[in-house]
Amino acid sequence: MNASIVEHLRRAGRLDRMFVDGEWVVPDTQARSAIVDPSTEEPVAEIALGSAKDVATAVAAARRAFAAWPASSAETRALLLDRIHSLILERAELFAQAISLEMGAAIGFARSTQVPSAAAHIRVARDNARGYAFVTHRGDMAIVREAIGVCGLITPWNWPLYQITAKVGPALAAGCTVVLKPSELSPLSALLFAEVMHDAGTPPGVFNLVNGNGPEVGAALAEHPDVDMISITGSTRAGVLVAQAAAPTVKRVAQELGGKSPNLILPDADLARAVPPGVAAGFRNVGQSCSAPTRMIVPRARLDEVERIALEAAGGIVVGDPRSQQTTHGPVANRAQFHRVQEMIGVGIAEGARLICGGLGRPEALSRGFYCRPTIFTAVHSRMQIAQEEIFGPVLAIIPYDSVDEAVEIANDTVYGLGAHVQGTDLGAARAAAARIRSGQVHINYPAWNPHAPFGGYKRSGNGREYGTEGLEEYLETKAILGFRDAPAPSNG
């Protein structure tokens, strides 16, 4: 199936083109980028890369389309999103196979999580288009929430379809037009998504896709004077560069960036229920999630028990060929990330953290591919690099504490504030701890994922929110129209 996906895109000419103004067009340059299968380290295809000139062409198309799209009814926009949602579900297996090939997700995880969660963002955007009050009244005023304009969307390689839909869905629901720059490392699902947008009947120029790298295409989007907003998901370093490029044109910049999320296990927690899901959450998507709870903060008096349960939980992980049904975790997504994970495991060892499973190198019997050993460090303290830096791989740090006050202090002791978890039997105590954590989301006792829950960061994890109503509002401007309703004439009195 993987080979057929590449062949489908090749035969259709998608690998050599970008999608602009409703058509598949040849980019301005001959630059190309290899797509590497992370399970074999072998190139499987090449895509054409765009340039600053291609960005200008796409932005011009989006600007022309903006003359009509925000004037369409909310129901018109909802109907388009409904068609997009249906097509994603119809083509779910194609998307899952593409994601597994381009970034190494285990096929079961791609099918059960990557694709359905992406579709959910479109569904929520559709429902918000229908239910949101774009005009409200306050006395004689009308408060109008209207589309901000042309939006440049920059998405990462770790959740390639999910992050596209989290941005495109609410942008279109708000009445914005968009230019998407997906990661050049995982572009296959983005090309399939552009086919969906075409087949759903998206008006020309409302959605545009330009493949390319950050320094050229991303920077050109950020600095373009006709782009009204940039939304980026990526590293904190990338977010800073985009914000700097956007600053001269004073455009809105929404950033969903790095994280080093805590999982605070309170003294009264049932460890059998708290620890195994914590290990699973930290290693979800092979640890390549900005909100992964990779710091497990546990009572020192119960450290031995935590270690035993965590080790047992890690033993159930099956690392291997992402196309195998038995595999739970495939490789990390690319060579650079593999080296980053290996480097940070080495740092943890050098810092004196105690390794209870995993470590350097590939798992046994895997001689090639960007496979990492699921690794758990314990006896970690908050000043260690592995407790401070985002590793973005299957590496969990267990940090002991002596009091709940100290635990909350440890939870907040990073430059990040994207996600957090709290586990405890006493719900009041868990709520109190959650209230003290400086983070855009806090999960108490592993609730189900909710696509309506706003998601975003404090501190260097970014600004703005995605998902749900708050995600829609990022793409809206607020206009106050005074005297909208008849009011008494002013008194001369």
- Helix ranges (H only) for 157-297 are 160-174, 188-199, 219-223, 236-246, 271-283
Residue 486: pLDDT band with limits 50, 70, 90: low
Question: Is the pLDDT confidence value at 487 over 60?
Answer: no
Domain ranges of the chain: 2-257+461-479, 262-444
Question: Is the pLDDT confidence value at 369 over 60?
Answer: yes
CA atoms within 13 A on the CB side of 29: 18
For the domain made up of 262-444, give the CATH fold: Aldehyde Dehydrogenase; Chain A, domain 2 (3.40.309)
| β-pairing verdict for 207-209 and 177-181 | parallel
- To the query of whether residue 290 is one of the catalytic residues in this protein, the response is yes
Question: Is the pLDDT confidence value at 493 over 50?
Answer: no
Across all residues in the chain, what is the average pLDDT? Answer: 97
Mean pLDDT of 128-151: 97
Encode pLDDT of 284-319 as tens digits: 999 999 999 999 999 999 999 999 999 999 999 999
CATH number of 2-257+461-479: 3.40.605.10
Rounded to the nearest 5 percent, the helix, strand and coil shares of the chain are 45, 20, 35
Encode pLDDT of 180-205 as tens digits: 999 999 999 999 999 999 999 999 99
Residue 485: pLDDT band with limits 50, 70, 90: confident
Please state, as a whole number, how many other Cβ atoms lie within 10 Å of the Cβ of residue 309.
19
- To the query of whether residue 343 is one of the catalytic residues in this protein, the response is no
Query: What is the share, in percent, of the chain residues with pLDDT greater than 70?
Result: 98
Taking phi first (over 0 means left), then psi (-120 to 50 degrees means alpha), and beta for anything else, what does residue 164 get?
Answer: alpha
Out of 184, 195, 256, 307, the active site residue is 256
Out of 184, 195, 216, 290, the active site residue is 290
Mean pLDDT of 393-400: 98
Encode pLDDT of 34-61 as tens digits: 999 999 999 999 999 999 999 999 999 9
How much is the pTM? Answer: 0.96
Please state, as a whole number, how many other Cβ atoms lie within 10 Å of the Cβ of residue 343.
12
